[in-house]
Structure 1
Amino acid sequence: MLRFFRSYYPYLYVSLLGLLLLIRLPLLLNSLPLLIPELNWMLVGEQISQGDLLYRDIWDSVSPLSAIVYWGLDTLFGRSSIALHGAATLVSVFQIVYFNYVTNTRDVYSDRSFWPGLVYMLFLHLSFDCLTLSPMLMSTSLLLLAFGTLVKQMERRGATDEVFEVGFYIGLAALFYLPSVLYILWAALALLLYTGATFRQHSLSLFGFLFPIAVTILFYYLNDSLDDFNRNLLASVFRVRQYSLSDVQSLLASLLIPLGLGVLGFLSLFNTTSRYVNFQQRIQQIMMLWFVTAVLTTALMPFLAPMSFLSFVPPMAYFAVFYFENVRKAWLSELGFSLAFGLMLLLFYQGALGLIPGAELGRLSNLQVRPSPLPDNIRNQRVLIIGEDLSAYRYNRPATPYLNWDLAKYDLRNLDNYEAVINVFDHFRLDPPDYIIDRENVVEKLFQRAPALAAQYEKTASPGVYKRK
């Protein structure tokens, strides 16, 4: 396969994208497990379509530009996981083509080939959860655009005013996925160490970064929701862990080969430094800074899953290409790639389809939506779930703003506070749920504090489930 993509002819884009579709079509045509984050994102888009304002009327920590995309998809397709998968494939196509284009047209490697795009395409399949349109995937597209602009600056003797674009792209990336805000440090260091950027140009880059964020803050200020924006997004990144979804074995297995090849490629550079010109060495250092920044973002991730590590793909793919370039014998390079290709796709399909009976590796069971605690005949009802398990929303609609349990704790875990009780009562009055599913044992205390609510609900036969009278 490496031999086929060794050339650099435009028609190979068709072959590369055909290979991408060949890998994904068997899964896109089958019914993939619905993931809890997917359901959460669809609910956010659905509620915005109904006129609710994110953070004020929807207590969730999804970033605003991602929410706008989910709103658009809900407007066009309704609550559809297929739409998320299709849109994710289009975003993946853009990233593969752009990464291959930039690395070749800017002569980032010694030889031009389609290896960068091929390796990038493979590494996008860390796990089957990477098939969905996640904020991390969308944010990585903007980071790639910032990288492309930085590479243009590296080619010149001095930086230009295009550094504004670098900051602007990173600002947009942060509005898709807030932990990406750390990449402004990556850009600042790259401009400081590897270009002749002046103070004015550094200021331009910082202004480009702050501009889209300032516009977003202004929007919420004008809608009298700045406190909601701060609590549910800005402050939440340091405190909120949205789901308890960690499947450490599957996570490590999905990252093992890409990280291993990336590290081997990085180490191979120490024996071949003379092959690369000064410009290429600077790009290597910039990509190393990207990887370090990506590691720092792990502390801000709302949950741990392979899809959360998609921002690692560009530096891993970039260095992995060096490994295959620097293997002296072509057949060893071909064999190594074939093994990596086969093992990664085996884990990918095992996770999605359960090829090995009884094996849980790659299945991400904690990430999948479980059967609803409500009877099957209860559908299209207004439901409030108090807890992390969103499964009852699969065929129902959320009531009250309390979508994210970690954010709902501000009120529902603080019922000894009079203001919190008033807030809950007002939310129930404006948007009363038909059913309450209490997994955190707070409803009884709420009913004690607000007897008017207690008079409206009765217990059902299901534990922790209350029905509106």
Structure 2
Amino acid sequence: MLRFFRSYYPYQYVSLLGLLLLIRLPLLLHPFPMLIPELNWMLIGEQISEGNLLYRDIWDSISPLSAVVYWGLHSLFGRSTLSLHIAATVVSVFQIVYFNYLTNNRDVYSDRTFWPGLIYMLFLHLSFDCLTLSPVLMSTSFLLLAFGTLIKQMERRGATDEVFEVGFYIGIAALFYLPSALFVIWATLSLLFYTGTSFRQHSLTLFGFLFPIAATVLFYYLNNSLDDFNRNLLSSVFRVRQYSLSDFQSLFASLFIPLGLGVLGFLSLFRSTSRYVNFQQRVQQIMMLWFVIAVLTIALVPFLAPMSFLSFVPPMAYFTLYYFENLRKAWLAELGFSVAFGLILLLFYQGLLGLIPGAELGRLTSLQVRASPLPDAIRDRHILIIGEDLSAYRQNRPATPYLNWDLAKYDLKNLDNYESVINVFDHFRKDPPDYIIDRENVVDKLFQRAPALGTWYEKTATAGVYKRK
């Protein structure tokens, strides 16, 4: 396969994208288990389409531009996981084509081949959850655009005012996935160490980064929701931890080969530094900085799953190519890539199709939406789930802003505070749920603190479920 994609002809894009579709089509046509994050994103899109404002009327920690995309998809396709998967494939095609074009057009490597796109395409299949349109995937597209503008500056003797674009792209990336804001450190260090950037141009980069964020802040200020924006997005990045993933074996297995190849490629550079010109060596160093910043974002991710590590794909793919390029025997490189290709896709298909009977590796069971705990009669109703398990929302609609339990705790776990009780009462009055599913045992205390609410609801035969009278 490496030999086939070594030639650099435009028609190879067709081959590369054909291979991508060949890998994904069997899964896109197969019944796909809905993931809890996917359900959460679709609920947000649905709520926004009904006129609710994110953070004020929908308490969730998702970044605003991602929410806008889910709103658009819901407006066109409704609650459709297939639309998420098709949109993710479109975004993946852009990243593969752009990464391959950029590395060849800017002579990042010694030879022009389709290996960068091939390896990038392979690493986008860490796990079957990477098939969905995650905020990390969308954010990485803009980080790649920032990378493209950055290395264009490095080719010149002095930086230009285009450094504004670098900061702007990272600001947009942060509005898709907030932890990506850390990449402004990557851009600043790269410009400082590897370009002749002046103080004015550093200021332009910072302004470009802050401009889209400031516009978003202004929007929420004009809608009297700045406190909600701060609490549910900016402050929550340090506290919100959703969908606890206990399947660390699957996470480790999905990252082992790409990270291992990336490390081997990086180490191979020490044996062949004389082969690369000064520009290529600087690109190697800024890609190493990318990897370091990506590691720092792990502390801020809302949940651990392979899809949360898609920002690692560009540096892993970048350094992996050096490993295969520096192998002296072509047959050994071909064999090594074929083995890596097979093992990565085996785990990818195992997660969804269960190719290995009885093996749970790669299944990500803790991220899958479970069967609804409610009776079958409760469908298409407005409900409130007090707890982390969102499964009951699959056949119902959320009521009140309390979608994210980690954020709902501000009120529902603070009922000794008079202001919190008033907030809960107001939210119930504006959007009363038909059913309350209490998994955290807070309803009894809520009814004690707000007796008027207690008169609205009665217990049902199902434990923890209250019905509106």
Provide the TM-score with structure 1 as the length reference: 1.00
1:56 counterpart residue number: 56
1:65 counterpart residue number: 65
Contact 1:434–1:468 (Cα < 8 Å) also in 2: yes
User: Structure 1 residue 353: deviation in Å?
Assistant: 1.1
User: Structure 1 residue 246: deviation in Å?
Assistant: 3.6
The one-letter code sitting in structure 2 at the alignment partner of 1:353 is L
The one-letter code sitting in structure 2 at the alignment partner of 1:160 is T
1:321 counterpart residue number: 321
Alignment partner of 1:149 is 2:149: yes
Alignment of 1:57-456 (within 5 A): 57-456=57-456
1:45 counterpart residue number: 45
Q: Secondary structure in 1 aligned to 2:350?
A: helix
2:13 counterpart residue number: 13
The one-letter code sitting in structure 1 at the alignment partner of 2:161 is D
Contact 2:383–2:399 (Cα < 8 Å) also in 1: yes
Q: Distance in 2 between matches of 1:397 and 1:62?
A: 18
The one-letter code sitting in structure 2 at the alignment partner of 1:79 is R
User: Structure 1 residue 460: deviation in Å?
Assistant: 1.2
Contact 1:100–1:116 (Cα < 8 Å) also in 2: yes
User: Structure 1 residue 31: deviation in Å?
Assistant: 1.1
For 1:379-398, what per-residue CA distance to the aligned partner results, in whole angstroms no more than 9, with x for missing partners?
11001000000000001000
Q: Distance in 2 between matches of 1:94 and 1:268?
A: 29
User: Structure 1 residue 247: deviation in Å?
Assistant: 1.6
Q: Distance in 1 between matches of 2:178 and 2:376?
A: 37
Q: Distance in 2 between matches of 1:440 and 1:292?
A: 39
The percentage of counterpart residues that share the same residue type is 84
Contact 2:123–2:317 (Cα < 8 Å) also in 1: yes
Q: Which runs of 5+ in 2 are unaligned?
A: none
Following superposition, which runs of at least 4 residues in structure 1 exceed 6 angstroms of deviation? none
For 1:309-338, what per-residue CA distance to the aligned partner results, in whole angstroms no more than 9, with x for missing partners?
000000000000000000000000000000
Q: Distance in 2 between matches of 1:331 and 1:166?
A: 40
Contact 1:246–1:303 (Cα < 8 Å) also in 2: no
Q: Secondary structure in 2 aligned to 1:383?
A: strand
The one-letter code sitting in structure 2 at the alignment partner of 1:28 is L
The one-letter code sitting in structure 1 at the alignment partner of 2:433 is P
Q: Distance in 2 between matches of 1:363 and 1:377?
A: 30
The one-letter code sitting in structure 1 at the alignment partner of 2:158 is G
For 1:83-122, what per-residue CA distance to the aligned partner results, in whole angstroms no more than 9, with x for missing partners?
0000000000000000000000000000000000000000
1:464 counterpart residue number: 464
Q: Secondary structure in 2 aligned to 1:384?
A: strand
The one-letter code sitting in structure 1 at the alignment partner of 2:325 is E
Contact 2:243–2:366 (Cα < 8 Å) also in 1: no
Q: Secondary structure in 2 aligned to 1:394?
A: helix
The one-letter code sitting in structure 1 at the alignment partner of 2:202 is H
Contact 1:246–1:305 (Cα < 8 Å) also in 2: no
User: Structure 1 residue 461: deviation in Å?
Assistant: 1.4
Contact 1:380–1:397 (Cα < 8 Å) also in 2: yes
Q: Secondary structure in 2 aligned to 1:231?
A: helix
The one-letter code sitting in structure 2 at the alignment partner of 1:113 is T
The one-letter code sitting in structure 1 at the alignment partner of 2:9 is Y
For 1:352-407, what per-residue CA distance to the aligned partner results, in whole angstroms no more than 9, with x for missing partners?
11111211100000000011111123211001000000000001000000000000
Q: Distance in 2 between matches of 1:331 and 1:107?
A: 25
User: Structure 1 residue 204: deviation in Å?
Assistant: 0.4
Q: Distance in 2 between matches of 1:349 and 1:462?
A: 38
Q: Secondary structure in 2 aligned to 1:187?
A: helix
For 1:239-261, what per-residue CA distance to the aligned partner results, in whole angstroms no more than 9, with x for missing partners?
11122124210000000000000
Contact 2:266–2:323 (Cα < 8 Å) also in 1: yes
Q: Secondary structure in 1 aligned to 2:395?
A: coil
